[in-house]
Structure 1
Amino acid sequence: MQVEIWSDVMCPFCYIGKRNFEAAFEKFTNAKNIEVSWKSFQLDPTLPEKEELDHEQYLIERKGFSKEQVKGMLNHVAQTAKNAGLNYHFDKVITVNSFNAHRLIQMAKTKGLDDAAEEQLFKAYFTDGKDIADKATLTELGKAIGLIEQEVNEALTNEIYAAKVNRDIDEAQQIGVRGVPFFVFDRRYAVSGAQPPEAFTQTLEKAFSEWREKNPEPPFELTEGPSCTPDGHCG
């Protein structure tokens, strides 16, 4: 069964939502039958690749909050993150466009490393104060999850990966995603926002139960080897 997660690496609740989902997923007895994939979303595609405003100034000048509102909001989010086992340092955040980061995630996804890429980018942005639009930083983060420099360069220059990012964003609009994180279970159920682990557990169990009815387990233990399928694939 598929679980798809629309997310932006500059979204503080997306990292919290990831942790809460993981807490539920670790205890889910049928986790081996779940395929989790990450989808791109941009909260602010107008941001430049070079920081012009620090995070507080960005929220004040671009989002229209007062200084007092921003301080209260960031303190609340930092505490929520801490409750999920995360350390946010908003004073170190470099507020830049996340498109390059999403291109890296799309490359990582082709290797089955999209979850690892999300983790590295969230930590880089919210905890370590790294520039997630910078090629050198993205190369460092890509290597940390097992990509090689050539693959990172490919992600940042080949328009295939930009198209993949835009396709995810377009798909989000089509299915009605208005904010992230947004979790979709078997294209039947959705959880919006950084819900507590219990909400993810309930939805996982419900969605999987219905999926299992339509996809029963084989009545035997399977040992696989080279074979051919009707679609012409042999290997």
Structure 2
Amino acid sequence: MKVEIWSDIMCPFCYIGKRKFENALKQFADRETVEVKWRSFELDPNMQAVPGQSIHEMLAERKGVSVEEGKRMNDYMGNVAAEVGLHYDFDRMIPTNTFLAHRFLHLASAHGLQDAGEERVFAAYFAEGKNVGDLATLAQLGAEIGLDAAEVTRTLETDAYTQQVRLDEYEAQQVGARGVPFFVFNDKYAVSGAQPTELFLEVLEKVRSEEKPVVVAGQAGAACDVDGNC
């Protein structure tokens, strides 16, 4: 079974959705047959980081509310994250453009480390106050998951994986993803948002039931077998 997940590093619901989906996978009997592919999605491709601006100030500016209200909104999101065992430290978060981080994740994928990369970058941004739009930071994170830091630096100093990010974003439009996280199962079923674990499990089981052949009890019908018997 193939599951594609469109996601952005700066999206708080994407990390929460990752946990909820993982919890569903743990309960899914055929989890070893599920292939998960993370896809790039930029919520704000034109974002320009403002040095010294806090995440509370950025949210307040975008929502047209006070900084205090922005902090209350972030506190609420932190409580939602805590329900699935995640710690969001909004006071330390560094708002940044995520394009470089998406390219980094494609590099991680090329080395079979895509999920490890997603997890590490999410934790770095939401819990550790690291700037995931910084090349040196990404090289360090890469080394922590098993990549060569020098290769990360060399690769991201070029335009490598730019086309892959843009293709993911184009395909997001084709499948109707207007927000993230956005999950697509076997190119057939789409789930939008950080839905409850129970819903993810229900979809996994439905897709698996459709993949398996239907066996009808009763007298065998006319058929030919792989040995040439008809």
- Letter in structure 1 aligned against 2:77: V
Question: Could you tell me whether the CA contact under 8 Å between 1:106 and 1:155 is conserved in 2?
Answer: no
After TM superposition, give the deviation of residue 144 of structure 1 in Å.
0.8
- The AA in structure 1 aligned to 2:175 is I
Tell me, yes or no, if structure 1 residue 128 matches structure 2 residue 135. no
Quote how far apart the aligned CAs of 1:27 are.
1.5
Which deviates more from structure 2 when the two are superposed, residues 152-161 or residues 96-105?
152-161
2:138, 2:127 → 1: CA distance? 16
Structure with greater Cα Rg: 2
Specify the alignment match of 1:220 in structure 2. none
Q: Does 1:73 align with 2:73?
A: yes
SS at match of 1:213: coil
Q: Which runs of 5+ in 1 are unaligned?
A: 215-235
Aligned AA (1:160): A
Which residue of structure 2 lines up, in the alignment, with residue 231 of structure 1? none
Aligned to 1:200: 200
1:1-235 residue pairs with structure 2 within 5 A? 1-48=1-48, 51=51, 53-213=53-213
Task: Answer whether contact 1:103 1:155 (CA < 8 A) is retained.
Answer: no
Shift of 1:52: 5.4
Q: CA RMSD in A?
A: 1.6
How far residue 68 of structure 1 moved from its aligned partner, in angstroms, is 4.5
Deviations 1:8-56 (A, max 9, x none): 0110010000011000101111011110010000111112256452111
CA gap 1:68/1:163 in 2 versus in 1, 3 angstroms? same
1:172-197 superposed Cα distances (whole Å, 9 cap, x missing partner): 01211011011110011111111111
- Partner letter of residue 10 of structure 1? M
Say whether the 8 Å CA contact 1:49–1:133 is kept in structure 2. Answer: no
Aligned to 1:62, the other structure's residue is in SS state: helix
Mapped contact 1:142–1:149 kept (Cα < 8 A): yes
Structure 2: which 5+ runs fail to align? 215-230
How far apart, in 2, do the equivalents of 1:189 and 1:52 lie?
Answer: 42
**Residues of 2 paired with 1:132 and 1:193: CA distance?**
23
| Aligned CA distance change for structure 1 residues 51 and 170 (closer, same or farther; 3 Å) | farther
Paired with 1:50 and 1:140, the residues of 2 have a C-alpha distance of 23
* TM-score for both structures, normalised by structure 2: 0.88
Q: Secondary structure at the match of 1:183?
A: strand
* C-alpha deviation, 1:156, in angstroms: 1.0
Rate the CA distance shift 1:66–1:109 in 2: closer, same or farther, 3 A.
Answer: same
With normalisation by structure 1, the TM-score equals 0.86
Deviates more, 1:66-75 or 1:115-124: 66-75
Runs of 4+ in 1 over 4 A off after TM superposition: none
- Change beyond 3 A, Cα 1:35–1:148: same
Q: Counterparts of 1:152 and 1:213 in 2: how far apart (Å)? A: 44
Contact 1:143–1:149 at 8 Å: present in 2 too? yes
In structure 1, C-alpha distance between the alignment counterparts of 2:81 and 2:24, rounded to whole Å: 16
